[in-house]
Amino acid sequence: MGIDDELRDHFDRRAGGIRVEQSSMGEIRARARRRRRNQRLGAGITVLALVAAIIVSVQAIANNNEAPLETQFFDTNDDFDATPQPEDGDPAQENEPPETRGGDLAPPAPATTPEQTPAPKPTPLAEQAPTPESTTEPEQDSGPTEETQTTDIESEPNPEPTATPEEAQQEDTASESSQPESPELQPVAAPTADDRYIQLAAGADHTCGLRTDQTVVCWGSNSQGELNAPSGEFTALAAGNYHACGLRPDQTVECWGENIADQTSAPEGEFNALSGGGRFTCGLRPSQTVECWGHNHFRQLDAPQGQFTAIDSGTMHSCGLLTDGTLDCWGFNQAGERDEPPGQFVAVGAGRAHTCGLRLDQSVECWGDNTYNQLGVPSEPLITIDVGSLHSCGLRADQTAICWGNNNFGQARAPEGQFISLSVGFEYTCGLRPDHSAVCWGRNYDNRMAAPTGKFTTITSEGDFTCGLRTDQTVECWGDNTFGQLEVPQGQFTDISTGSGHACGVRIDQSATCWGHGGHGRTAAVFGQFISVGAGGAHSCGLYVDQSVECWGNIDSGEGNAPPDPLISIDVSGQQGCGLRADRSVACWGKPTVLGSLPDPQQAPFLSVAVGNGGHACAVRSDQTAISWGNNNQGQAEVPSGQFIAVTAGAFYSCGVRPDQTAICWGGNHGDQLTAPPDERFTALAAGRLHVCGLRPDQTVVCWGNGNRAALLP
């Protein structure tokens, strides 16, 4: 099932496909009116000039002067340009051949008149897709920004026949007006590990599971009500981008979630199977015919005649398996995803702009877009396949999973063990184990909120993930796994620390080990015995048992210049680190000018110190008052009055625990991470980029902040 996350609101509207700013349609019409007015005015001036010249000539002849003057016309371009010049950003000035503007996959639009201004050019597929897996540093999001309001016509180019901008705007306006006004949607917690399922259905930012008792539970983003599954029993599920549908025991269909294109308005009658597309849904009738409903701007609903045994829907196209084993596809054909090969198949899966089929001999064949190696199928035989937006997965005969295609969030790195079925979402994958438990991997955008159950003695957060040291001294991490930072080595630990894309820990034998992003050698821990470790942006530091500090990784900007003084504790984040000396004064090192002036030694002793990735640090004095220094561009260094027993520093914010064990946060609030649970009590806090996790007195963990799109299980 192919789900295209590029339909989500974070997509760059002006660069991708056919999204037109609400104000741009009026501007286009205004420009056209100005052109017509200028043309009429220019034509009028030209006519007047011609008349004047004729009059002069006639007068000259009448007066028996020299030979008639040569007729002279005013150059209308001297004082007034009758030819309208395109304004900046006007599509009319893009007159070069289509191949010089990015090699668009869609056919070029026909020539237009000023009254019919062409739609913006579609962005090439390689530009629209997410960045492939690389060794680049994790991006530091500065939080949400206010962008120009846009009208979502669709995030893919138009097939022939091309709809005019006016038609597209009318279609979108009508669909928007049919959408209910901002329903009151509450985030739904992910199911527990004790749940057992018959089927999983992965959408763009949400997942739905059909339990063994035939009830449905959904988790992840609830932006369009896609988690509000109706009560009662179901026999099958299908998930679209922001909607889902279920098949009742009487074979009728019920859908929920986004209904901007009537994709949840299921037709009456019986169905044997369902398939969810981007903003449309298809169903297989008992007569083995296909019926689709929802968005039809790219003819996704125009299912061909014939009898089918299976169907699968991608972002804007679908494919079906005919009764004779051949394939038939319909809908959008941006990159050849509808160009099904001849021959017989036993299964088919549709993605964003590619399609895969499983042959009778258990070989896999894929066609369409190959920007992220979606067509790089494994050579070994498979028994099932499921196709996502930019990656696909399949099961081997021994029921182990294998995936291929885009792996920028680990979605194509299948875990070990056996599965009975797979469901591939946009940037993540879910599978059912033989015991009917669910496991998911890939982009957990971002399941940093859904802390695992059980008890912990220490928690640490950085970037978009969190790690905790359990009471049995094992480590568990959750959240973003872009660089494998959740794949903790086995064994017992005494200390842990998280960086931007990696983590480090001290084992019970006092050796140090690191995992996750290995760029610049940050995970190549040095030999020796350590008390504690600190993981930064692209480097790591360790506190030896002799109280000296050594750092490794990218230390070219002073990150490795730890003071020679003995330290009793350290904290590292970004490009800086701080520690407490034996006299409990603060010592810091790292990139010069980042933290600024250090606290006056006269303010010692300090109980603890914490360093944030935004260039600031906080410390708690022995009288339980707190101070902060360094970058204060968002108020992160403005500590509230009162007492604290612990503090933590995030990217551009800080948090502290009061003596009554309540939490308070201050600074930038881009992910609602400053809204600490008022009724909770904590002994410690860990601040990430846009989320916070707290350790309760009973040693359980709860998290809050930017994590309302947690599509994966904890």
Quick one: residue 127, left, alpha or beta (phi over 0 = left, psi -120 to 50 = alpha)? Answer: alpha
> So what's the pLDDT on residue 77?
28
CA-CA distance, 496 to 515, in Å (whole number)?
Answer: 11
- 627 DSSP β-pair partners: 619
> So what's the pLDDT on residue 450?
63
Element (H, E) at 704: strand 701-705
pLDDT band at 120 (very low <50, low <70, confident <90, very high): very low
> So what's the pLDDT on residue 14?
28
User: Among 242-246, 283-287, 581-585, 700-704, where is mean pLDDT lowest?
Assistant: 700-704
Task: Using the predicted structure, report yes or no on whether residue 196 has a pLDDT greater than 50.
Answer: yes
Q: What is the pLDDT of residues 659-675, one digit of tens each?
A: 999 999 999 998 788 98
**Crossing angle, helix 165-177 and helix 22-62, to 10 degrees?**
150
Mean pLDDT of 506-513: 96
Give the residue, 164 or 429, on which the prediction is more confident.
429
Percentage with pLDDT > 70 across the chain? 71
> So what's the pLDDT on residue 593?
67
- Pairing assessment for the beta strands 327-331 and 475-479 based on DSSP bridges: unpaired
Query: In the sheet where 493-498 sits, what is the strand order?
Result: 493-498, 502-507, 512-516
From residue 469, give the alpha-carbon distance in Å to each of 213, 455, 702.
35, 9, 14
3-state helix, strand, coil in the chain (%, to 5): 10, 35, 55
> So what's the pLDDT on residue 443?
74
CA-CA distance, 587 to 572, in Å (whole number)?
Answer: 12
Task: Using the predicted structure, report yes or no on whether residue 28 has a pLDDT greater than 50.
Answer: no
Report cis status (omega within 30 of 0) of the bond before 605.
yes
Q: Which residue has the tokens 């800080």?
A: 654
> So what's the pLDDT on residue 712?
38
Percentage with pLDDT > 90 across the chain? 58
pLDDT band at 21 (very low <50, low <70, confident <90, very high): very low
pLDDT band at 623 (very low <50, low <70, confident <90, very high): very high
User: Among 45-54, 68-77, 281-290, where is mean pLDDT lowest?
Assistant: 68-77
Give the residue, 22 or 643, on which the prediction is more confident.
643
418 residue type, one letter: Q
> So what's the pLDDT on residue 550?
96
Q: What is the pLDDT of residues 692-702, one digit of tens each?
A: 999 999 999 98
Give the residue, 128 or 246, on which the prediction is more confident.
246
Q: Which residue has the tokens 């929920």?
A: 256
- Please tell me what DSSP assigns to residue 712: S
In sign, the C-alpha dihedral spanning 29, 31, 33, 39 is negative
CA-based R_g, the chain, Å: 31
Q: What is the pLDDT of residues 200-240, one digit of tens each?
A: 999 988 899 999 999 999 988 787 889 899 999 999 999 99
Is 206 within 8 Å of 710 (Cβ atoms)? no
Report cis status (omega within 30 of 0) of the bond before 161.
yes
Mean pLDDT of 678-699: 93
Task: Using the predicted structure, report yes or no on whether residue 147 has a pLDDT greater than 60.
Answer: no
Q: What is the pLDDT of residues 628-653, one digit of tens each?
A: 999 999 999 999 999 999 999 998 99
Give the residue, 286 or 705, on which the prediction is more confident.
286
> So what's the pLDDT on residue 521?
94
> So what's the pLDDT on residue 674?
93
Q: What is the pLDDT of residues 337-396, one digit of tens each?
A: 999 999 999 999 999 999 999 999 999 999 999 999 999 999 999 999 999 999 999 999
CA-CA distance, 48 to 177, in Å (whole number)?
Answer: 50
CA-CA distance, 685 to 610, in Å (whole number)?
Answer: 11
> So what's the pLDDT on residue 502?
96
Task: Using the predicted structure, report yes or no on whether residue 408 has a pLDDT greater than 70.
Answer: yes
- Please tell me what DSSP assigns to residue 374: T
Element (H, E) at 274: strand 273-276
Give the residue, 644 or 61, on which the prediction is more confident.
644
Q: What is the pLDDT of residues 521-564, one digit of tens each?
A: 999 978 999 999 999 999 999 999 999 999 999 999 999 999 99
Task: Using the predicted structure, report yes or no on whether residue 62 has a pLDDT greater than 60.
Answer: no
Task: Using the predicted structure, report yes or no on whether residue 72 has a pLDDT greater than 60.
Answer: no
> So what's the pLDDT on residue 438?
86
What pTM, to 2 d.p., does this model score?
0.50
CA-CA distance, 202 to 472, in Å (whole number)?
Answer: 34
∠181-678-144 over CA atoms, to 5°?
45
Task: Using the predicted structure, report yes or no on whether residue 144 has a pLDDT greater than 70.
Answer: no
393 residue type, one letter: C
Mean pLDDT of 491-517: 96
> So what's the pLDDT on residue 470?
94
Mean pLDDT of 654-659: 97
